[in-house]
Amino acid sequence: MPKIIETSTSGRGFSNITREVEREVTGTGLCHLFLQHTSASLILCENASPEVRVDLETLVSRIAPDGDPAYRHDDEGPDDMAAHFRTLVSGHDLTIPMQDGRLLLGTWQGIYLWEHRAHPHRRRVVITQVPESN
């Protein structure tokens, strides 16, 4: 049965949700995470150096700037279309192996919810566990 975790963001930026996901994981198999939103992303990212996430934001702002006059969709403000594109290129789901109730992440990997909107939002992540088949 899927579980849902909710997290609040403070606007554009990254929230490390690794611990929240780990609390929900049981058994051995695969853990699938699905973000129920179109203007934020789920990513596996370097968890030791915050500069990596700063650089990611810098790079994506170059390819999807807020308020570009070419955008037609701006129903929720100048960051609206840029946020949708950022989600498209960075993704809305992850699949991570798990064993004995723990995620098999690498030493420097963390699970991040990447908020693409300028203002705070409440975000929902669906966690589905697929047990190992015998």
CATH number at residue 63: 2.60.120.460
**Location of structure tokens 């699970």:** 111
Alpha carbon distance 70, 133 (integer Å): 49
Per the domain annotation, does 67 fall within a domain?
yes
Alpha carbon distance 23, 4 (integer Å): 12
Question: pTM for this one?
Answer: 0.94
Per the domain annotation, does 134 fall within a domain?
no
The first and second tokens of residue 44, run together, are 């596996």
Specify the pLDDT at position 133: 83
The DSSP code sequence of 46-108 is ESS-HHHHHHHHHHHHHHS-TT-TT----TT-TTHHHHHHHHHHH-SEEEEEEETTEE---TT
Domain residue limits at 77: 3-129
Give me the number of domains the chain comprises: 1
Specify the pLDDT at position 6: 97
Per the domain annotation, does 85 fall within a domain?
yes
Specify the pLDDT at position 76: 87
pLDDT tens digits for 57-105? 999 999 999 998 999 998 888 999 999 999 999 999 999 999 999 999 9
Q: pLDDT category, 15, cuts 50, 70, 90?
A: very high
Specify the pLDDT at position 77: 87
The answer on pLDDT for 134 being more than 80 is: no
Per the domain annotation, does 60 fall within a domain?
yes
Specify the pLDDT at position 35: 98
Which amino acid belongs to residue 83?
A: A
pLDDT tens digits for 22-56? 999 999 999 999 999 999 999 999 999 999 999 99
